[in-house]
Chain A
Amino acid sequence: MTAHDPALPPRPNSAPTIYAYDEYDRAFVRERVAEFRGQVERRLAGALTEEEFRPFRLMNGLYLQLHAYMLRVAIPYGSLTSRQMRQLAYIADKWDKGYGHFTTRQNLQYNWPKLVDVPDILEALADVDMHAIQTSGNCIRNVTADHFAGVAADELEDPRPTAEFLRQWSSAHAEFSFLPRKFKIAVSGAEHDRAAIKIHDIGLRIVKNAQGAIGYEVIVGGGLGRTPFVGKLLREFLPRADLLAFLEAILRVYNRFGRRDNKYKARIKILVHETGLDEIRTQVEAEFAAMDRAPFAYDAQELERVVAAFAPPAYESLPARSDALEKAKAENTEFAAFAAVNVAPHKVPGYAIVTVSLKPIGGIPGDATAAQMRALADAADTYGFGELRVSHEQNIILPHVKQDDLFALWRDLSAAGLATANAGLISDIISCPGLDYCALATARSIPIAQAISERFADLERQRLIGKLGIKISGCINACGHHHIGAIGILGLEKKGVESYQITLGGDPTLSASIGELLGPGVSAEEVPDVIESLVQFYLAERREGEAFIDTWRRLGHKRFKESARREGEDGSGI
Chain B
Amino acid sequence: MALVSDGAFIADEWRRLADEESLPGSGKVIVSLGRLPAAREDARLTALGVYVANTTDPKALAPYFARLALIDIAFPAFTDGRGFSLARLLRREGFVGELRASGRLTPDQYLHAVGGGFDTIEIPDELAAHHGEANWAKARQARSLSYQRGVAGGASILERRRKGVA
Contact = CB atoms under 8 A, between A and B. Distances in A.
B15 interface: no
Contacts of A22: 161
A28 B157 contact: yes
Interface in A363-421: none
A302 B161 contact: yes
Given A24-B160, A31-B143, 16 more contacts: A27-B145, A38-B142, A42-B135, A170-B147, A172-B146, A172-B148, A174-B148, A175-B85, A178-B80, A178-B112, A255-B84, A255-B85, A256-B55, A256-B82, A256-B86, A295-B149
A28 B142 contact: no
B116 A291 contact: no
Contact of A169 (B108, B109, B147): B147
A525 to B, nearest CB: 42
A168 to B, nearest CB: 5
Interface of A: 22-25, 27-28, 31-32, 34-35, 38-39, 42, 47-48, 52, 55-56, 138, 168-179, 252, 255-256, 260, 290-292, 295, 299, 301-302, 305
Contacts of A34: 142
29 contacts: A24-B157, A24-B160, A24-B161, A25-B157, A28-B147, A31-B143, A31-B144, A32-B143, A34-B142, A35-B143, A38-B142, A42-B135, A47-B131, A47-B135, A52-B106, A52-B108, A168-B147, A169-B148, A170-B147, A172-B148, A174-B112, A174-B113, A175-B116, A176-B81, A178-B78, A178-B79, A252-B85, A255-B82, A260-B80
Interface of B: 55, 78-82, 84-86, 88-89, 92, 106, 108-109, 111-116, 130-131, 135, 138, 142-151, 156-162, 166
A175 B108 contact: no
Contacts of B160: 24
Chain B interface main SS type: helix
A288 to B, nearest CB: 13
Nearest to A260: B80
Contact of A256 (B85, B108, B109, B143): B85
Given A28-B157, A299-B162, A301-B162, A172 B147 contact: yes
Contacts of B111: 174
Given A174-B84, A255-B85, A292-B92, A24 B145 contact: yes
B143 A172 contact: yes
Given A175-B116, A295-B148, A23 B166 contact: yes
A28 B112 CA distance: 15
Contacts of A176: 81, 84
A260 B78 CA distance: 13
A502 to B, nearest CB: 37
Contacts of A174: 84, 111-116, 146, 148, 150-151
Contact of B81 (A31, A175, A295, A302): A175
B88 A175 contact: yes
The 10 tightest CB contacts between A and B, nearest first, are A174-B115, A178-B81, A24-B157, A295-B149, A174-B112, A175-B84, A168-B147, A35-B142, A255-B85, A28-B145
Nearest to A54: B79
A6 to B, nearest CB: 15
B92 A291 contact: yes
A299 B147 contact: no
For B82, B108, B151, which residue has the most chain A Cβ atoms within 10 angstroms?
B108
B163 to A, nearest CB: 11
Contacts of A42: 135
